[in-house]
Amino acid sequence: MPVFEMSDANFPVDAEGRTYHVECRRGDIANRVVTVGDPQRAKLMAKKFDKILLERSSHRGFLIITGIYKDVPITVVSIGMGLSMMDFFVRETRAVVDGPMSIVRFGSCGSICDAKPGNIIVCTSSYGIMRNYDHFTNPFKKAESPYLITDRVQADPTLTLSLSTKLKNSMGKDSVFEGSNGCADSFYGSQGRLGSNFVDENDNLIPTLKKKYSDAVSLEMEAHMLYHLAAVSKDAQSGEQSIKATCALIVFADRTGNEFITPEASQIAVEHCTEAIFNTLVEESFKGSSLHPVEGSV
Ligand code: DUR
């Protein structure tokens, strides 16, 4: 475990300049980033790199692999699960990268559309689904709805189109779906999973989501934080948005047919998607920036 002699409580970094949770420092992270949940998925994707420049696991469960693909540096970061992990990842990598960033999340989800386990869902937008805690514990707030559903935030349209086109070319267009993603603060209650150990009042949650957003296709736990932080990102000098983001999700759970993916099918999906995702990032031109995507810049 690294020794942290943090002198700044606002944004702690260690003596070598590494951030507190992701443990990345300037030079570790490329401008083109893929974020996944599962470290095995990160390792599988990294097999497509021509060369690995850096591999590092943090004491808080992040894994960074930076490599070269078609002469361009790309970083794959596995972050685990949930909104907080996405927040750590986006803020701490942003802090150590100069210039614009393009981030593709390649995660997993439950499908609430016709997509079946092993299919891919590209999230053209995302919204948050949060448990309305007070509804459950404050008798005066019983009239409030048990779940709070936010507005949708759009993915970067150009990056999304490029990703979706490439995924359709490699997977077949019938295996790739598009729509808005519900990003929940739990795998269980706020994704409409039913159980008897807690009061969740979520029997009607999935129909409510579909009624509010007719393009609702998926449920997961990270994309909205990524899209939200991209939307509010700003370059310190110009004030312009500094992060572009999009997301492709492997369907793990079919929430309509109640089916779950096999480990083999998940691996096949990763193998089919990796190059489409890397190529999407390689084609990013970062217009107006002076980035030189060559070996040695990470
Ligand atoms: N995930 C869901 N819901 C599903 C399937 C997958 O949230 O039904 C994603 C998001 C989270 C992890 O990172 O997988 C939870 O198993």
- CA-angle at 294, arms to 161 and 38, nearest 5°: 55
Sign of CA dihedral 222, 225, 231, 235: negative
Q: Are 186 and 131 in contact (CB under 8 A)?
A: yes
Mean pLDDT of 184-190: 98
Question: What are 111-166's pLDDT values in tens digits?
Answer: 999 999 999 999 999 999 999 999 999 999 999 999 999 999 999 999 999 999 99
- The residue nearest atom 12 of ligand 1, judged by CA position, is 81
Q: 65 CA distance to ligand 1 centroid (A)?
A: 22
Residue in the block written with tokens 């709070």: 148
pLDDT of 290 reads 54
Sequence-distant (≥ 6) Cβ neighbours of residue 184 within 8 angstroms = 128, 129, 130, 190, 191, 219, 220, 221
Q: Is the CB of 190 under 6 A from ligand 1?
A: no
pTM over 0.90: yes
Q: Is the CB of 121 under 6 A from ligand 1?
A: no
What's the CA gap between 217 and 106, in Å, rounded? Answer: 16
Question: What are 223-240's pLDDT values in tens digits?
Answer: 999 999 999 999 999 999
Res. 260 pLDDT band, cuts 50 70 90:
very high
What's the CA gap between 115 and 174, in Å, rounded? Answer: 9
Res. 296 pLDDT band, cuts 50 70 90:
very low
SS3 14: coil
Q: 67 CA distance to ligand 1 centroid (A)?
A: 27
Q: Are 234 and 156 in contact (CB under 8 A)?
A: no
Q: Which amino acid is at 167?
A: L
pLDDT of 2 reads 54
Q: Is the CB of 191 under 6 A from ligand 1?
A: yes
State what percent of residues in the chain have pLDDT above 90: 93
Q: Is the CB of 188 under 6 A from ligand 1?
A: no
Q: Is the CB of 80 under 6 A from ligand 1?
A: no
Mutation choice for ligand 1 from 77, 181, 187, CB with most ligand atoms inside 8 A: 187
Supply the Cα-derived Rg of the chain in whole angstroms. 19
Q: Is the CB of 37 under 6 A from ligand 1?
A: yes
Could you tell me where the beta strands, DSSP code E, fall in the chain? 32-36, 51-57, 63-69, 72-78, 101-111, 120-131, 147-149, 153-154, 176-184, 216-220, 243-254, 259-260
Question: What are 84-98's pLDDT values in tens digits?
Answer: 999 999 999 999 999
Question: What are 189-203's pLDDT values in tens digits?
Answer: 999 999 999 999 999
Over the chain, what is the mean pLDDT?
A: 95
- 114 DSSP assignment: S
Assess whether pLDDT exceeds 80 at residue 1. Answer: no
Assess whether pLDDT exceeds 70 at residue 298. Answer: no
pLDDT of 205 reads 98
Q: 6 CA distance to ligand 1 centroid (A)?
A: 33
Q: Is the CB of 181 under 6 A from ligand 1?
A: no
Assess whether pLDDT exceeds 80 at residue 3. Answer: no
Assess whether pLDDT exceeds 50 at residue 294. Answer: no
- ipTM of the prediction greater than 0.90, yes or no: yes
- 27 DSSP assignment: T
